Amino acid sequence: MQIEVRAKDEDGNLIFEGKLNKNETSFLIGYAINDLLHAGVMFNIDGDQENGDLDEAPSRIEVPKEVLN
């Protein structure tokens, strides 16, 4: 894993650049999904977004208000 922090934006978020291999990427995505699930975020993987306009399709992610604050 090669990550270099470049700067911070006005909100304090890190701006970084780097390279991740397949296993590192898989680990980080899995960690992020588990963290979101633990926070109460719900993923609707059964929804059909193939038909119709994506702007009209229901969201596949439901985020509790507590998580947004």
Domain count, the chain: 1
Question: How far is 29 from 31, CA to CA, in rounded Å?
Answer: 5
pLDDT value of residue 3: 85
What is the extent of the structural domain holding 42? Answer: 2-68
pLDDT value of residue 64: 83
> Is-contact 37 29, C-beta < 8 A?
no
> Which residue numbers in the chain have pLDDT < 70?
47-59, 69
Helix (H, G, I), strand (E, B) or coil at 25: helix
pLDDT value of residue 50: 60
pLDDT value of residue 55: 59
**HSE-up of residue 24 (Cα within 13 Å, Cβ side):** 7
